[in-house]
């Protein structure tokens, strides 16, 4: 199993990541990727305080041939996307994180969490839903139905997969498309989504529904 594109990569701009822009580009090349995105944490995340460097990061992505992305926070029940502050990106990955969310009142019910995800997908231009079911649980199939209707990809995360095989099959039955991403926080992880490959070994997946699997 091999991926052709990796659309969820952090580097030194995320305070929990390492690697210069050139390091990431070199790693992407050596992993045989035809396309890659640099998607650092968004501005309200504790590891994403780079709003003042927005232009620099955009220029660096362009210089090294990376898609200029962000990993924005799913964080409000009304569907407001956290941390993008009206800025433009070529790619928006959206995910729920402990920071800046931890302790907010709306956690706890699967129904409420699911509604938060659905509202966020409906109200924003999102390309990829990152690490679904990590930190908080949702009704995966209900989220996938809305994602499918909006053309949003569901990520199979390279570091951890928190939906079950049955939940994956339920999502697959909606026709939604998936993408495998490394979620690398250092150059050596780029293009190497080990946990996703392990997960897929045990389930009858439809390769046509995974957009970046090498033939």
Given 19, 95, 158, 191, the residue binding Zn ion (CB under 5 A): 95
CB of 199 to Zn ion, least distance (A): 17
Tokens 């091999």 locate to 2
8 A C-beta contact, residue 153 and residue 147: yes
Taking the least distance from each CB to Zn ion, the nearer of 7 and 168 is 7
Site string for Zn ion, 175-204 (x = CB under 5 A): --------x---------------------
Q: Compute, in degrees rounded to 10, the torsion defined by CA atoms 81, 85, 87, 88.
A: 0
Bridge partners of residue 213, in order along the sequence: 3
Taking the least distance from each CB to Zn ion, the nearer of 114 and 181 is 181
List the interface residues with Zn ion, window 39-68 (CB under 5 A). Answer: none
Which two tokens mark 66? Answer: 């990376």
8 A C-beta contact, residue 210 and residue 181: no
Part of the chain binding Zn ion (CB under 5 A), chosen from 84-92, 93-101, 106-114, 115-123: 93-101
| Binding residues with Zn ion: total (CB under 5 A) | 3
Closest residue to Zn ion, Cβ-based?
95
Q: Which string of b and e fits 99-124 if b means at least 16 CB within 10 Å?
A: ebbeeeeebeeeeebbbbbbbbbeeb
Cα–Cα distance, 13 to 16 (Å, whole number): 8
**Helix/strand/coil for 155:** strand
Pairing type for strands 91-95 and 128-129 reads: parallel
Given 71, 73, 145, 167, the residue binding Zn ion (CB under 5 A): 71
Task: Decide: is 6 part of the binding site for Zn ion (CB under 5 A).
Answer: no
Which two tokens mark 117? Answer: 């995800």
Taking the least distance from each CB to Zn ion, the nearer of 41 and 177 is 41
CB of 206 to Zn ion, least distance (A): 25
CB of 95 to Zn ion, least distance (A): 4
Part of the chain binding Zn ion (CB under 5 A), chosen from 73-81, 92-100, 118-126, 188-196: 92-100
Which two tokens mark 191? Answer: 């293009």
Part of the chain binding Zn ion (CB under 5 A), chosen from 87-95, 110-118, 145-153, 156-164: 87-95
**Helix/strand/coil for 93:** strand
CB of 68 to Zn ion, least distance (A): 15
Binding site for Zn ion (CB under 5 A): 71, 95, 183
């Amino acid at each position: 199993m091999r991926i052709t594109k990796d659309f969820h990569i952090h580097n030194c701009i995320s305070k929990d990541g390492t690697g210069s822009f050139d390091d990431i580009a070199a790693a992407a090349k050596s992993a045989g990727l035809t396309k890659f995105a640099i998607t650092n944490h968004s501005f309200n995340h504790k590891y994403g305080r780079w709003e003042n460097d927005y232009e620099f990061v955009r220029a660096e992505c362009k210089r090294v041939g990376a898609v200029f992305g962000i990993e924005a926070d799913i964080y409000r029940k009304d569907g407001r996307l956290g941390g993008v502050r009206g800025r433009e990106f070529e790619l928006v990955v959206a995910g729920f994180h402990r920071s800046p969310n931890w302790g907010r009142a709306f956690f706890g019910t699967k129904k409420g969490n699911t509604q938060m995800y659905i509202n966020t997908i409906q109200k924003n231009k999102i390309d990829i839903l990152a690490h679904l079911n990590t930190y908080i649980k949702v009704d995966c199939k209900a989220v996938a139905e809305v994602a499918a209707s909006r053309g949003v990809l569901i990520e199979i995360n390279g570091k951890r997969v928190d939906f079950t095989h049955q939940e994956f099959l339920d999502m697959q039955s909606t026709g939604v498309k998936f993408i495998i991403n490394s979620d690398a926080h250092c150059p050596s992880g780029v293009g190497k989504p080990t946990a996703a490959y392990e997960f897929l070994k045990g389930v009858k997946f439809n390769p046509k529904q995974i957009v970046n699997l090498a033939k």
